Every structure is written in C-alpha cells, then in structure tokens.
Structure 1
Amino acid sequence: MEEGLRSFSERNNRNITIASQVPDVCRNEACALGIDEAGRGPVLGPMVYGITYCPESRAQELKAIGCADSKTLTEEQREKLFEKLDSLGDFVGWAVEVISPNSICNSMFKRLKHSLNEVSHDSAIGLIRKALSLEANITSVFVDTVGPPEKYQAKLSALFPGIKITVSKKADSLFPVVSAASICAKVARDKALSSWQFKESPFVDLKDSEEMKWGSGYPGDPTTKKFLAKNIDPVFGFPQLVRFSWSTSEQILKTKGVSVEWEDTEEQENQAVSVKKFFVNSGKTNTPRRHPYFADRRLKPATKLV
C-alpha cells in the first residue's frame, strides 16, 4: 500500500486503486466480501473505498483478531490491525480506491451532476468487479449503505446476479468483513493525507507549521476553517487538497475570491437561426460563405431529395 499511496501523493489529482495479491484459497472457496469507506464528509482530502474478502468459513477470524468499526479504534490500533490483515495473505485479500478531491469536485460540478452517492456507488461497484477480475470466488457481499439500503441492494443485486448482496446500516459494526474493509479504507486515507504533496507552493506556505495544520478536515472544525481561510488564492482558489464543491469552501471563495464574469458567445436562445445562412453567397465573391462545420465535412445543399 505504501508504494501505491506514494504514487498517489505525487500526483494527487487522479484516482488510484491498490490491491493485495489474491490468496489461492480465495480462488477456490466461497468468499465473503465487505465494503466500507472513509472520508465521505470532510472538506479536505480524498475519499477512500475499501474491500476485504476471505472464505466465508473463516470470516469470524477477522473478529477474533480485533476487527471492528474503524471509528471506534485509535489510529495506532488501526495501523496494527491493517498490518495484521496484510500479514494474513494466505486467506485474506483487500483493495482500496483512493478518490481524489479533484475527481469528487469534477463529478459534482458536471452539467449533469454526479452526486457523492453516485461516486460512492461507482467505487463500490468498481472494487467488486476488481476482485472478480482477479478471479476471487466472491459469493456474498456485505456493504455499509449509502442512501436507502433497499434501493442500493436492488441495484447491486441486478449488477451481480448469483452473488448474495446484503446492504445494511452500521454494517461496519455488524459484519467482521466490513469492519476489516473500514480499517483498510481509514488507514489508506490517513496515509494519503499525511503524505500529501502540495503542488501549489508558494501560495501554500510549506514552511509555516500553523498553515499546514488542517485539523480533522470536517467543515465544522475551527482548525480546518482556519486552514481554508489562510490557504486561498483570490484567483486560483484552494489547493487540490480542498473539495471546492463543499458549501464551506464555496462560501469562503465567494467572500475572498475574485468574481469572474464569463462572456456568452452563444446565440441568444430565442433568436431564430436558419441553417440556410451558412450556405448562401456573401455577395462579394462567387464563393459561397459556408460555416466551417459544413466546409470541413464537404457538405453541400441538397438540390434534389431522393
């Protein structure tokens, strides 16, 4: 994971998926797969989705080693548990997708907006497909829900016929395989944040220890708000660590950023434009005045309909 996250930190504007080797036993025995995320709510940093999978007959061993909802564990406990999970490569596999703040914002700012729920669903679906493509024998999937559990479960069941899908609230505390996934996701997000490499220097002062403290990253955290207020350029906005699409950052941009007016070069909506005008002569030469679209494609007016 370390090498993959270093690669992400160096570019940090694109998503990256990191996966363990598939244990041989997971290719042959029926396996349960758990899915959970970390970093859905913060205004700073990536969101990370994680999966773990193991033979259904050994899923309770994950509970025995201490896997629990990552939010109930300290950072040190999570680190040790991830190391333990990674050492159990003879029967446990895992994968994480690190979704960059830039990718989240681009999705949410599209003309046809792609909501955070949809981004979450896409990541979960992609990770299930990743495990299947690696030939893991996944027969059951347990998911901590995003949105209404019934609709999400129906969506996944339609996409993965033959696999038993269980979508539940608090799945990370109910199913050990989901608890393990939550630990993988949380450890990956913490490491991605701690190794984040800012490309926006010098307007982000890398030598100012106060400016580099961002707290929990959640919108209501005073330290996070202070970081946002200090690290904004009036023209270019925030560094890529920040999710521009969150209301917290949008409000600061409105207050401290320079307003921009974009020139509308398109035709007025209510102005009727006939396509014939692109084919008529200009009156000055014998060469027809034609729009480049038609000229490039060698399109001519139809003189006869067949």
Structure 2
Amino acid sequence: MDLGEFEADNSVSCRLASAIPDVCKTEDCCLGIDEAGRGPVLGPMVYGICFCPVAKKEDLKDLKVADSKTLTEAQREDLFRKLDEAKSFVGWALQILSPNTISTSMLQRSKYNLNALSHDAAIGLVQFALDSGVQLKEVFVDTVGPAEKYQEKLSQRFPGVEVTVRPKADSLFPIVSAASICAKVARDHSVKDWNFPEDLGEVDADYGSGYPNDPKTKAWLLKELDPVFGYPQFVRFSWSTTQTLLDSKAVTVHWDDDEEDGEKAAARQNNTSMLSYFKAGSKTSAQQSNTHQTHRFFTERRLQSLATL
C-alpha cells in the first residue's frame, strides 16, 4: 500500500482510494465501513470503505476475508493484496485521520468528540463513493455509539440506500471485513514507518502497538516526554493518558481564560503566565528577530509571532 501522499504531510488528514471498477458504476453495489486505530494514543485513526456489486458478494467470500483483528499482519497483507488485485469488481477508499487532526478536533473550544469525528469520516467516504459514480444499494457499518441512532442518521443522510448498522459488523458481513482489512493495513504501515516532522534526530521506534496499556507504549511515552513542548504530533494530546503524563511530568503552565485569573494565579506561585508570552512588546518584529532565535518547535510548525492578539 502506497501511503506516500499521507507521509508527505502526516500532520493533516488524507484520503486515498483505488480506481473505481466500471462494473460498480453500472450495477447495484454494497459497501462496508470500518475503522482501525480508534483506541491507541499513538498514530492515526483510519476509516476504510470497500465496495463491490451485490451480485459479486459470493466472489468476495471466496477471497476468505475476515475481521482484521482475528488475522496476523501477514494474513492482512495477503488479503489486501488479493482485494487490490480484484480491481475488476472491488474498490476501496481510506480516510486517514492524523493524530494532530484528532487532537485539535477534540480540544477545540466547540467540542467535537471522537464519535462525531468518526461519523463524519464515514459519511465523507460514503459520499465520496456516490460522487465517484458507485451505484450504492446497501451499506453495512460497524457501529460507533448506539447502533439505532447511527443507522437512523445514515439513512436520513443517504435516502434510497439501505443502511445496516450492527455491532461486530466486521465479523458478520464480508464487505465490512474487507473494509476492516484495508483500514488496518494502512494504519499498520503508517505507524511502522512514521516520519517525525519535528526532526527529533534518533527517535526510539520501539513504541509497541500504541495502545495505552501496552508496556512498550508506556515506556516510550515516558522516555520521549519533553518537559516544555510535550510530545511530537505522533501522540494524541487529547487522550487522558497523555494529559495525565503532562500534568505530572511536564512543566506547569498557567493559562489565562475567562474562568480563572491566570496572571494572578501565576504570580502567587512565582511563575509566568502563558499569555504573557503573546503580549505585544515594544520591539518590532525585525528587532526581535535580531536578538532572539525562534525555537525549532515553532519554525517546524510554521508558527509566527503576532504583534497583537
């Protein structure tokens, strides 16, 4: 699987897709949706769809697709290769949600939780298939949240398409199993070959599965914690695992907001308020650049100083 487009900038989300089989544009099709990487604190979450003509369901069964969680990495790779080779009647598409996208979405002022993010990714992929000319008749989805509400939401969004939302759909419907395999293979590749844009030098790549309860992941998070800047964008800052480590191990930061007087709180503890770093000074930007070298944390993220808030 070629993830070059995502690897070129893994700070943002990316959509990858196969060619659309001609038969999918002329015959009624079924489509499955599943995700990989919902729980890990490291790496992206990947939503995948797979589709084929309803009349070709038995052909899909012959490929012996199964829930990706029940397969070894080698088995998933082999099945993805078979799915990709069956391009005369099988198509797929992926929405790779970067850790940075997940974190900034969940931590923004207007709350946007993981379920909403997942629903929108799934809806976007179904719409992509329709816009690409796929004649969708049936959609099968592994549930996120209450199955009945999710099914009603999708049915209203896509009238004329028969939607089925079921727990464990990846083990019930081969077309969902196929989507599960596509998503899992993409996530495995992205995590294994993660490109750290922060230019951290030699980074320990032995970070395990990325799940919070994995001992290797726990050890890696402790080792790579920067007391000031936290973690690279490979880590989901919106996870409680990350926030707990930052609260206990990193430098204390006082934020100014409407609920607490950060300036006074910082003064009481003989610290500097975070907002003070953003206040306009008497020096011009040119003067500041001559006397102060910007930390690479800001330059690597293309952040610039503002004269006013």
Q: Distance in 2 between matches of 1:116 and 1:86?
A: 29
How far has the Cα of 1:262 moved from its partner? Answer: 2.8
For the pair 1:220 / 2:213, whether they are aligned, the reply is yes
User: For residue 120 of structure 2, what is the aligned residue in structure 1?
Assistant: 122
The percent identity for this pair of structures is 58
User: For residue 40 of structure 2, what is the aligned residue in structure 1?
Assistant: 42
Q: Distance in 2 between matches of 1:92 and 1:33?
A: 10
User: For residue 202 of structure 2, what is the aligned residue in structure 1?
Assistant: 205
**Structure 2 unaligned residues grouped into runs of 5+:** 262-309
User: For residue 255 of structure 2, what is the aligned residue in structure 1?
Assistant: 262
Residue in structure 2 matching 1:152, options 150, 153, 160: 150
How far has the Cα of 1:190 moved from its partner? Answer: 0.6
How far has the Cα of 1:264 moved from its partner? Answer: 5.1
User: For residue 190 of structure 1, what is the aligned residue in structure 2?
Assistant: 188
User: For residue 230 of structure 1, what is the aligned residue in structure 2?
Assistant: 223
Residue in structure 2 matching 1:175, options 173, 176, 179: 173
User: For residue 244 of structure 1, what is the aligned residue in structure 2?
Assistant: 237
User: For residue 286 of structure 1, what is the aligned residue in structure 2?
Assistant: none
How far has the Cα of 1:217 moved from its partner? Answer: 0.6
User: For residue 85 of structure 1, what is the aligned residue in structure 2?
Assistant: 83
Q: Distance in 1 between matches of 2:239 and 2:199?
A: 23
Amino acid in the other structure paired with 1:261:
H
Structure 2 residue matching 1:33: 3-state secondary structure: strand
Amino acid in the other structure paired with 1:76:
A
Count of aligned pairs between the two proteins: 261
Which digits, 9 at most, give the CA deviation of each residue in 1:160-195, with x for residues without a partner? 000000000110011000000000000010111122
Aligned residues of 1:213 and 1:227 also touching (Cα < 8 A): yes
How far has the Cα of 1:243 moved from its partner? Answer: 0.4
Aligned residues of 1:32 and 1:141 also touching (Cα < 8 A): yes
Q: Distance in 2 between matches of 1:69 and 1:101?
A: 24
Structure 1 residue matching 2:32: 3-state secondary structure: strand
How far has the Cα of 1:7 moved from its partner? Answer: 2.3
Q: Distance in 1 between matches of 2:117 and 2:73?
A: 26
Which digits, 9 at most, give the CA deviation of each residue in 1:210-237, with x for residues without a partner? x321111100111101110011111111
Which digits, 9 at most, give the CA deviation of each residue in 1:97-140, with x for residues without a partner? 11000000111101121010011000000000000010010111
What TM-score do the two structures reach when normalised by structure 1? 0.83
Amino acid in the other structure paired with 2:136:
I
Q: Distance in 1 between matches of 2:107 and 2:257?
A: 19
How far has the Cα of 1:11 moved from its partner? Answer: 1.5
RMSD: 1.6
Aligned residues of 1:143 and 1:167 also touching (Cα < 8 A): yes
Amino acid in the other structure paired with 1:205:
E
How far has the Cα of 1:265 moved from its partner? Answer: 8.9
